[in-house]
């Protein structure tokens, strides 16, 4: 879990989700990538609100937040036809 409102990893102090958190999330949601994406969209929303509150003049860059929270998630492949 992240340390809020800074959104840093409680273990290694890297921006959350750090490498270890990403591996853990992919493992936990291995059979439901849609749920993983929904969860990450929710925490991205919370992180954006917290970070904009902390840094009202500059705020976080939207592209950077997307890369940090969503772009790394492995894509689901459509089922192959027999």
**pLDDT of 18-61, one tens digit each?**
999 999 999 999 999 999 999 999 999 999 999 999 999 998 99
Within a domain: residue 39? yes
- Measured in residues, the chain has a length of 82
Q: pLDDT-derived band of residue 75, with 50, 70 and 90 as boundaries?
A: confident
Q: In the prediction, which pLDDT does 81 show?
A: 63
47, two tokens: 């992180």
Within a domain: residue 31? yes
- The number of domains in the chain is 1
Within a domain: residue 57? yes
Reduced to 3 states (helix: H, G, I; strand: E, B; else coil), residue 38 is helix
* Domain housing 20: 2-71
């Amino acid at each position: 879990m992240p340390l809020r409102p800074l959104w840093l990893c409680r273990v290694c102090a890297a921006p959350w989700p750090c490498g270890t958190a990403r591996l853990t999330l992919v493992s936990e949601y291995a059979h439901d990538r849609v749920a993983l994406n929904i969860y990450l969209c929710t925490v991205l929303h919370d992180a954006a609100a917290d970070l904009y509150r902390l840094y009202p003049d500059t705020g976080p860059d939207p592209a950077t937040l997307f890369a940090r929270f969503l772009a790394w998630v492995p894509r689901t492949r459509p089922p192959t036809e027999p």
